[in-house]
Amino acid sequence: MSQFSREDNDYMARAIELAKEGLYTTHPNPRVGCVLVKNGEIIGEGFHLKTGEGHAEVNALKAAAGKARGATAYVTLEPCSHQGRTPPCAEGLIAAGINRVVAAMEDPNPLVAGRGHRLLQQAGVDTSWGLLESDARALNPGFIKRMSTGLPFVRIKQAMSLDGRTAMASGESQWITGSTARGDVQLLRASSSAILTGIGTVVQDNPAMTIRPEQLPLANAAELCNRQPLRVIMDSSLQISPAAKILQPPGKAVIFYRHADESKVQQLNQSNVTLVQLAELAPITVLKWLAEQRECNELLIEAGAKLSGAFTQAGLVDEWIIYIAPKLLGSQARPLFHLPGIEQMSQQIALQQVDLKTLGEDIRICYQPASSPTPDSPQPERPVAESNSSQRKEC
C-alpha cells in the first residue's frame, strides 16, 4: 500500500472540501474535487459543478494557467479515461505534464474502473490511490451504488412526534417539526436526484415536492432551484389529478402505474409528465427503472407509512432520516411505518445510528441497516438549515 505524507493528507482533504461545492448540482455525475501542487504550493484548484461542464481536473488545470508541468494532482476520484460528455481527464493530466497523481479512490464506473490509473501509469505518471478513501466515498453514495449495483442510494425521510406518530388520524400533519428541520429537508431534496411518494400522500396533502429558494440557507439558492429533482409517484390505477401540484412545473414528474382507462392516460399526457406502466408495481422495479432510464443516483422517499414500510421490508433502503419533535399526538394518530408480519423479536429490522443533530427544538437521527460497516457508511455532509415553518411530508 502506498505511504502518504501529512502534506498528502492535507491536500486531499482540501480536494474533498472542493468536491462538496457540487453537492447539489452534479447529478448524474459524481462530486469531484482536484488540487494541483508544485514545489509545496497550490497552483490550481477545481471541482465539477454540472454535467457537460468541465471536470474537476480540467478546471484545476485551467486555474494553474500553464504552470502544471511537474506538479502533483490530488483528486477525489480516479481520473476518467473515456470520452463522455467531456474529454477524458487522464489524457488532459498527461498532456499538461503532471508527474504524480494521487486519487482518493478508484472509479466504480465500469467505463473507468482502473483504466484511468493504467493510462496514467503507462505514460510514466506516478499513480497511487486510497488516500482518505472513506471520506471520498461519502461524497458520492448514490453514484457508487448505481455503478456497482444498478440501483440508486435510497433515503427515507420521516418526521414524527415523540410517541412515534406522523399525523393525526384525520391526516392532519401541519406542523410537527420546526422551521430548522424544514430547511434541512430542503437541503436533502436539493442533493437528491429524485423524490418519490405514493398516491396516498398526493391525495391527502397535494404536495409540490419542489426545492424552494426562500427556504434554502445557501447563497446560490435561486441558481440551485433551476435543477429540480425528478418527482416520482407510485399510483397503481392513476388516481392522480392532472391538476395535482406535484405534476406542475418547475421540474418533471414520472408516474408509475399498473392499469388505467385510456382517457385518464390522455389527460395526464403532459410535456413534463412521463407515464410508465408496469405489470407489477414493485419497489425494486421502480428503482431499476430510475437508475437505468434517469441515471438516478440518490432517491429521497417522502411518503406515508405503507410505502415507506414496503421499501423498508424489501431491504431496499440505505438510510432512514428521522426528525423527532417534542410533541405527543396520541395513540389514535398515524404510525411511522406499516410493517406487517413482524410478530417476534427475531423478525425485527435492526438499524444502526450514524448521525444525530439537534435542529432547533427537534432532533434529526440518521440510521442505516445494522449490517452496514460504520466507517465507510456513505453519509454526505448536510449543513443545518434555518427556515420559517415545517411539516411532516415537506411540500
- Edge-first strand order for the sheet with 362-369 is 273-277, 253-257, 230-234, 194-198, 298-301, 153-161, 319-325, 362-369, 351-359
Q: Quick one: 352 and 314 in the same domain?
A: yes
In terms of domains, do 209 and 160 share one? yes
- Clarify whether residues 220 and 348 are in a common domain: yes
Which listed residue (57, 302, 319, 394) is catalytic? Answer: 57
Contact status, residue 324 vs residue 362, Cβ threshold 8 Å: yes
For 323-337, the DSSP string reads EEES----TTSEES-
The pLDDT of residue 244: 96
The full length of the chain comes to: 395
The Cα–Cα gap between 144 and 107 comes to 8
End-of-domain residue from the set 117, 139, 161: 139
Please count the other Cβ atoms lying within 10 Å of the Cβ belonging to residue 380.
18
- Pair 130, 194 in one domain: no
* CA nearest neighbour of 231 among 201, 253, 257, 208: 253
Q: What is the pLDDT of residues 296-337, one digit of tens each?
A: 999 999 999 999 999 999 999 999 999 999 999 888 888 889
Which tens digits make up the pLDDT trace of 276-295? 999 999 999 999 999 999 99
Q: Within this chain, do residues 212 and 329 fall inside the same structural domain, yes or no?
A: yes
Q: What pLDDT is stored for residue 378 in this prediction?
A: 43
Whole-angstrom distance, CA of residue 26 vs CA of residue 35: 18
Verify that 205 and 66 share a domain, yes or no: no
Alpha carbon distance 342, 328 (integer Å): 25
Respond yes or no: is residue 57 known to be catalytic. Answer: yes
Which residue's C-alpha cell is 401541519?
174
Of all residues in the chain, the percent with pLDDT exceeding 90 is 73
Gap between the terminal Cα atoms of the chain: 49
The CA–CA distances, whole Å, from 165 to 31, 109, 151, 220, 362 equal 36, 41, 30, 35, 14
User: What does the pLDDT average to over 252-257?
Assistant: 98
